[in-house]
């Protein structure tokens, strides 16, 4: 059984519709896939319908933007109740922070001599509610000012670069609590990934997060070297945390993240199913 628990559609910053993504997963030989768009559940309905037709089992998920002491942290939430008020309020707040910073990023790029406009960003974002730096990057590609998303991040959009603008995100432990209270299962995405900031969380930090309700960590991810994966796996086993592996696929938006490039062990997947509250 092939299980990929972290993918993005164009409802956030992937490049495929939820339907295209689910069919691509079937073609890639996946039996189970999670849709984990950034800070939104709006793709779930379409993805469930496509999964039914394509013969794929869909796990509804979210990748929630949060803030940890050492910098930004991404939290995967599996099977939370999308109608839980506290969780959906928090997601609305994050998305509104995403929307608020967009004009400032555009203004800064224009100040640097770019011809980018709000309409260019609209043209590539296709009306998503969860706009992000990747959409600004795609607009810069469209108008021919950079070659790809990578170049846009390296020159303008990474922290420390001139068009980087911060945005609201809830504290990580608070987000873990919201996911658990909504009946979902909280798994820390790529804990030692590129965007983890200065300090990588250590075993003591994972233990504290577990006490707050964290169920697992994403060990097999393209941002983690083979050595990192082995160290993270050992920590997860020590702490009794669920171990996941996933592609973090973004369609054409992220190279080297093909569907199924990392997968999750069926036993670990069963633990996720068992840990979520079946009341919704
Ligand atoms: P934002 O959510 O607006 O803060 O943007 C962060 C998102 O940008 C991450 O979730 C990644 O999907 C994406 N990202 C970050 N760095 C790169 C990169 N170098 N190339 C492509 N996508 C990136
Ligand atoms: Fe992303
Ligand atoms: Fe992420
Ligand atoms: Zn992701």
CA gap 43, 11 in Å, rounded: 6
The position carrying tokens 């974002």 is 125
Residue of minimum CA distance from atom 18 in ligand 1: 150
Residue 146: the pLDDT is 98
- Ligand 1 within 6 A of CB of 150: yes
Residue 14: the pLDDT is 97
Residue 151: the pLDDT is 97
Residue 64: the pLDDT is 98
- Ligand 1 within 6 A of CB of 38: yes
Structure tokens, 21: 């993504």
Residue 199: the pLDDT is 75
Higher-pLDDT residue of 146 and 280 is 146
3-state secondary structure of 275: helix
Residue 197: the pLDDT is 56
Q: Identify the DSSP state of 41.
A: -
- Ligand 1 within 6 A of CB of 13: yes
CA gap 69, 47 in Å, rounded: 34
What is the pLDDT confidence band of residue 279, given thresholds at 50, 70 and 90?
A: low
**Helix (H) or strand (E) segment spanning residue 68:** strand 57-68
**Helix (H) or strand (E) segment spanning residue 223:** none
The tens digit of pLDDT for each residue in 210-253 reads 999 999 999 999 999 999 999 999 999 999 999 999 999 999 99
Pocket test for ligand 1, best of 11, 13, 36, 197 (most atoms within 8 A of CB): 13
Q: What percent of the chain has pLDDT over 70?
A: 98
Pocket test for ligand 1, best of 94, 134, 150 (most atoms within 8 A of CB): 134
The position carrying tokens 């910098």 is 71
The tens digit of pLDDT for each residue in 121-176 reads 999 998 898 999 999 999 999 999 999 999 999 999 999 999 999 999 999 999 99
CA gap 207, 37 in Å, rounded: 27
Residue 280: the pLDDT is 56
Alpha helix ranges (H) inside the chain: 18-27, 44-54, 85-111, 118-125, 133-142, 149-152, 172-181, 203-211, 226-239, 266-275
CA angle 218–223–68, rounded 5-degree value: 60
The tens digit of pLDDT for each residue in 78-122 reads 999 999 999 999 999 999 999 999 999 999 999 999 999 999 999
- Ligand 1 within 6 A of CB of 134: yes
CB atoms within 10 A of CB 227: 8
Torsions phi, psi for 52 (to 5 deg): -60, -45
Which atom of ligand 1 sits closest to the CA of residue 65? Answer: 2
Q: What is the DSSP string of 142-162?
A: HTTSSSSHHHHIIIIISTTST
Residue of minimum CA distance from atom 20 in ligand 1: 150
Q: What percent of the chain has pLDDT over 90?
A: 94
Residue of minimum CA distance from atom 8 in ligand 1: 134
The tens digit of pLDDT for each residue in 41-80 reads 999 999 999 999 999 999 999 999 999 988 899 999 999 9
Pocket test for ligand 1, best of 254, 256, 257 (most atoms within 8 A of CB): 254
The position carrying tokens 């997947």 is 269
Q: How far is CA 175 from CA 91, 101, 129, 136, 222, in A?
A: 10, 21, 20, 26, 24
Q: Is the pLDDT of residue 194 over 80?
A: no
CA gap 248, 261 in Å, rounded: 9
Mean pLDDT for the stretch of residues 182-202: 87
């Amino acid at each position: 059984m092939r299980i990929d628990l972290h993918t993005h559609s164009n409802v956030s910053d992937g490049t495929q519709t939820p339907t295209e993504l689910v069919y691509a997963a079937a073609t890639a030989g996946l039996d189970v896939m999670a849709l984990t768009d950034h800070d939104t559940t709006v793709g779930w309905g379409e993805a469930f319908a496509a999964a039914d037709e394509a013969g794929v089992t869909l796990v509804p998920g979210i990748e929630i933007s949060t803030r940890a002491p050492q910098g930004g942290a991404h939290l995967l939430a599996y099977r939370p109740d999308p109608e839980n008020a506290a969780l959906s309020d928090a997601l609305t707040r994050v998305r509104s922070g995403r929307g608020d910073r967009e004009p400032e990023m555009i203004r800064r790029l224009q100040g640097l001599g770019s011809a980018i406009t709000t309409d260019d960003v609209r043209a590539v974002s296709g009306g998503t509610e969860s706009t992000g730096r990747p959409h600004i990057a795609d607009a810069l590609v469209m108008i021919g000012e950079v070659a790809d998303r990578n170049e846009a991040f390296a020159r303008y959009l990474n922290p420390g670069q001139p068009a980087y603008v911060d945005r609201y995100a809830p504290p990580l432990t608070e987000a873990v609590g919201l996911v658990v209270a909504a009946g979902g299962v909280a798994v820390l995405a790529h804990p030692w990934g590129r965007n983890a900031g200065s300090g990588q969380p250590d075993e003591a930090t994972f233990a504290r997060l577990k006490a707050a309700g964290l169920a697992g960590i994403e060990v097999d991810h393209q941002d983690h070297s083979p050595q990192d994966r082995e160290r993270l796996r050992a920590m997860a086993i020590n702490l009794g945390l669920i171990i996941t592996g996933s592609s973090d696929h973004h369609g054409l938006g992220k190279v080297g993240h093909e569907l199924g490039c990392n997968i999750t062990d069926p036993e670990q997947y069963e633990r996720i199913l068992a840990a979520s509250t079946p009341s919704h």
